[in-house]
Amino acid sequence: MERVVLHVDLDQFIVAVELLRHPELRGRPVLVGGSGDPTQRGVVAGASYEAREAGVRSGTPLRTAAARCPDAVFLPADNETYLAASAEVMDALHELGGILEVAGWDEAFMLVDTDDAEQTARVVQRQVRERTALACSVGIGDNKLRAKLASGFAKPAGVFRLDATNWVAVMAELPTDALWGVGAKTAKKLAARGIATVGDLARAEMADLAGVFGPNIGPWLVALAHGYDSTPVTDEPYRARSRGREVTFQRDLRDVEQVRAEVRRLSHVVAADLAAEDALARRVVVKVRNSSFATHTHGVSLPSPTRDAEVLERAARSALDRFPLDRPVRLVGVRAELVAD
């Protein structure tokens, strides 16, 4: 008997849900996002594997996606349907026992005791398939980091194990951004110091990286490269640290007053979201993306926790005033950072 962490990752989740409604589209490049009209502004929320072969991923602008994959079928996003499908999957996983940590609408960690980890992973896949008709990949690890990475190697619809015994063989020659938690900017900073691979990072001196990334992040990066992760699997409900709304305009806004009006509207929508969840904000952050796609944020701390719409609006206006707004505006957003429980 051994205790392992499983990372269950639904394959092309959003597209897979749509294919249940549109089985005639199987095998074709399918892209989901916005209103489903690639001539309008918006981004891809989900891409089929066929579309990914053309270089389209989640977050790709719809117009760019249409240019890269002209044969793609575009469908509008239907978040309520995806949330319902996600709930069915998580209910199916709950029935299998162990500790279940929901990590998003298309992924979860499971802490299980088993005599055969791979067989248990296959049972998980079968349960999800029989209950929801959706496919998932399952990563097996001795901690959450390794299980999360393993599920990526398992795609699509496979099972892969990554633990202390094969960590070096599998990971050492991969680029540093293959690690969960290392993004493009961090990888670039590491590369500038001659650290290109996971193996390079594992051999780095913690003290050297602490001088570059800080006393916490520097050593953590080295530990990450060794596959260390002490984060427990917990069944505590996920609590978001912020609530926000944003809007991408079909035509860039050139009138500053229009931008202010949108920030005011979004502030009140966020306030309503907080009221519905009985949550309080401690800080308000405004995001602005201009016509050249440069994106910046400014935040304002609140004098006391609140969900009052007028207070949030004043803070958002104050944050907006810190932007030069000297270019047409493509997107604005308002986010409330929440008081921790």
* Active site positions, annotated: 107
Is 106 annotated to bind a ligand? Reply is yes
- Going by DSSP bridges, is the β-strand pair 46-47/30-32 parallel, antiparallel, or unpaired? antiparallel
Residue among 54, 35, 34 nearest 44 (CA): 34
Question: Which distant-in-sequence residues (6+ apart) come within 8 Å of 335 by Cβ?
Answer: 242, 243, 244, 245, 270, 284, 285, 286, 287
Instruction: Please tell me the distance from the alpha carbon of residue 110 to that of residue 93, in angstroms, as a whole number.
Output: 8
Contact status, residue 285 vs residue 319, Cβ threshold 8 Å:
yes
Question: For the chain, how are helix, strand and coil distributed in percent, rounded to 5?
Answer: 40, 25, 35
Q: If you write DSSP's letter for every residue of 256-282 in order, what string do you get?
A: HHHHHHHHHHHHHHHHHHHHHHT--EE
Long-range CB pairs of 128-132 (<8 Å, 24+ gap) are 128/8, 128/10, 128/89, 128/92, 128/93, 131/88, 131/89, 131/91, 131/92, 132/85, 132/88, 132/89, 132/92
- Enumerate residues 6+ apart whose C-beta is below 8 A from 262: 247, 253, 332
d(CA 284, CA 337): 6
Q: Which of 228, 248, 260 is nearest to 325 (CA)?
A: 260
- Residue 11 annotated in ligand binding: no
Residues in the annotated binding site for Mg(2+): 9, 106
